Amino acid sequence: MPQELLERNTAALRKIGTLQYFLYLASLLAVLCAALPLAYLLNRATSSDADSISTVLLRAKSINVLVTTLTLTAVVTLGAVLVGVVLAWILNHVSIRNMTAWRAATVIPIAIPSYVFTYCWMTLNPGLRGFWAATLVLILSTAPFVTLATLAALRRVDWSQYEVAQTLGLNPLKTFFKITVPQIRNQVAAGALLVALYVLSDFGAVALLGVDTFTRAISNLYRGSFDRSTAAVLSLLLVAISAVIISLESRVRSDSEARRASTKIVAEIKPFHSAKLRLVSYLFLATYVSLSLALPLMLLMSRFISNQVELDFAGLTSATFNTVSAAAIGAVIAVSIALPVGVLLQQGSRLAKLADASVLVVHSLPGIVMGLALVALGSQVGWLYQTLGLLAFSYALLFMAKGVGSVRTALAKVPTNLLEISTTLGQNKVQTIRRVAIPLAAPGILSGTLLIFLAAMKELPATLMLRPTGFETLATEIWNYTSISRFSEAAPYALTLVLVAAIPTFLINRPDRSENARESS
C-alpha cells in the first residue's frame, strides 16, 4: 500500500516539477535579458585600459557629477515621498467632494513625459535652470508613483485598527505613525524606489535644465562619440548606485510580508469631516494639481491654439498608432516574463530574487545606454536591427521591473486559504494558479502592464536610436520639433501623447472592483 502511495505521489510531484521548471526557465530568461545591456557595458568599459578608467573616475568633474546625481536622487525621492504620501492620505481619509476626479488628477501627471513637462515650465519661466528647478520639476512629476503605491496600501488597512488605537489614547498623528506607517511601509518603499530609479535614468528634465547628472554626462560623452568606453564606465557606476539603492529598499521592506491569510471583512473607512482639515486638504490638492497638471496642459493648449502651421493629421495619426503599438508589444513582452518571475518570487526563490534585482538595475539605466547596447546587439544580429521587435524589446527590458513589482504585490494579496481550497477541490498547482491566483491578481497585473505601457509611450532616447527608419512616434516627433525650436508645432504631438497616456493612467488609478467589493466577507 505505501508503495502505491509513493508512486501516486511522485507522479504528482513530477507534475508540480514541470511548472517549477518553467518558472525557473522564465526567471533565468529575465536574468539573461537584464544581463544583455550590462554585458555590453562591461565589454565596452574593459576595452579601455585601467589607467584611463581611473582618470575618468577621479576627475573632479566626475566627482561633481556623482555628488549632484546622489543629492538630486535623494532630495527628489524624499520630496516625492512626502508629497505622495500626503496626497494619498488625503484622498483616502478626508471627506472630499468629487473624489474620483481628484484621484485621477493627482495621478495623471505621470502621463506627461519629463521633457514635455520641463519644456512647459521653461516656456513659462525661461530663466528656470539648475539643480533646484530640476528638483521641483522631478518631485512634481514623480510624486504620483508614491501616491499610487500608497493609495493601494491604505485601502487595505483595517479601519477598526484606527478606532482601537484612538480608544487606546493615541492621537491621530501618533496613530498614523504607529498604525498606518508600519502597514504601508513596503508599498511606500516600492514607490520611492521607482522614483529614485526614475531620477537616475531621467534625461529630459536634467538635459533641458542643465543639471550635470550621470545621464546627462553619459549622453554628452556618447554624443561626442569618440569616448564610448568612458561613457560605459560611468554607466556601470550608475548601475552600482542603483544596485545600492535597490538593496536599501529591500532592507526597508519588512520581512513579514503582510500576506492575508483569509478573506476577513475589513472595516470601512470613515473619512474625517473636520472643516479645517478639509480646507487644508483642498489647498494641498489644488496646489499640486495646478502645478503638475493644469499649468502644463494650459500651456500646451495655448501653444496648440496659437500654432500657425497647418496640422499634419496623417503624421499625427501614424505617430499615435506607432507609439501605441510599439509600447503595447513591449508591455506584453515585459509582462509575459514578469509573470513567472513574480510567481516564483512569491515562493521566495533565490533565482527569482536575482531576476528581480537585475531587472531593477536595468530599470535605472538611461534609455540611451539601453539604446546603444541593443544597437550593438542589432549590429551582430542583422535581421534584428532597426525592427519594431527590437524597439519593443528595449521597452520590455527598460520597464520590466514595474511589471515584476506589480505581479509580486498582486499575488501577495491573494489569500492563501483560497489557494488551499482550490487544491482540496481537486485542482493541481498549475490549475490553481491559472484559475484562482491569476484571476484574483488580475487587476494588479493589469495595472503593472499599463504602467509599462505608459512608460514605454513616453520613452525617448532608446526610441530615437532603435526605431526602424521612418518610424516616427509621438515622442520622436516632439523631439524633432523642439530640437529645432518649433515648439508650437510640437504642441499637438505633446498634447496627443499626454491624452493617450492619460488613458492607462486613469485605468490604473480606477479603484478596482475587487477592492470595492472588499473581496468576499
Give CA torsion, residues 394, 395, 396, 401, to 10 deg: 120
Give the separation between CA 508 and CA 495, rounded to whole angstroms. 20
CA torsion angle 201 202 208 214 (round to 10): -20
CB of 265 to another protein, least distance (A): 9
Contact yes or no for 140/79 (Cβ under 8 A): no
Per-position x/- string for 240-269, each x denoting binding to another protein as judged by CB under 8 A, each - no binding: ----------------------xxx-----
Among 127, 169, 426, 470, binds another protein (CB under 8 A): 426
Residue 343: CB minimum distance to another protein, A: 17
* Closer residue to another protein (CB): 98 or 520: 520
DSSP string, 49-83: -HHHHHHHHHSHHHHHHHHHHHHHHHHHHHHHHHH
Give residues with Cβ within 8 angstroms of 468, minimum separation 6.
386, 387, 388, 391
Q: What are phi and psi of 376, to 5 degrees?
A: -60, -40
Q: How many residues does the chain have?
A: 521
Q: Do 436 and 414 touch, CB atoms closer than 8 A?
A: yes
Q: Rank residues 196 and 437 by Cβ distance to another protein and give the closer one.
A: 437
> Closer to another protein at the Cβ: 10 or 247?
10
Nearer to another protein, 127 or 426 (CB): 426
Question: Which one of residues 336, 387, 428, 480 is an interface residue with another protein (CB under 8 A)?
Answer: 428
Residue range at the interface with another protein (CB under 8 A); choices 159-167, 268-276, 348-356, 433-441: 433-441
How many residues lie near another protein (CB under 8 A)? 35
Q: CB neighbours (10 Å) of residue 105?
A: 19
Site string for another protein, 11-50 (x = CB under 8 A): -x--------------------------------------
What is the H or E stretch that residue 430 is in?
Answer: helix 429-432
Could you tell me the smallest distance in angstroms from the CB atom of residue 442 to another protein? 8
First to last CA, the chain: 42
**Which lies closer to another protein via its Cβ, residue 428 or residue 488?**
428
CB of 12 to another protein, least distance (A): 5
Residue with cell 528634465: 205
Task: Tell me whether residue 9 or residue 100 sits nearer to another protein (CB atom).
Answer: 9
Compute the distance between CA of residue 93 and CA of residue 184 in angstroms, rounded to an integer.
14
Which range of residues in 4-12, 157-165, 342-350, 375-383 is near another protein by CB under 8 A?
4-12
Helix and strand totals (H; E) in the chain: 25, 0
Binding positions for another protein, 383-422, rule CB under 8 A? 415, 417-418, 420-422
Per-position b or e across 378-413, b if 16+ CB within 10 A of its CB: beeeeeeebebebbbbbbbbbbbbbbbbbbbbbbbb
Could you give the CA distance from residue 45 to residue 49 in angstroms, rounded to a whole number? 8
| Minimum distance, C-beta of residue 6 to another protein, in the bound complex (Å) | 6
**Residue nearer to another protein on the CB measure, 9 or 52:** 9
Question: Is 163 or 420 the residue whose CB approaches another protein more closely?
Answer: 420
8 interacts with another protein by CB under 8 A:
yes
Residues that bind another protein (CB under 8 A): 1-2, 4-6, 8-9, 12, 262-264, 415, 417-418, 420-428, 431, 435-436, 439-440, 442, 514, 517-521
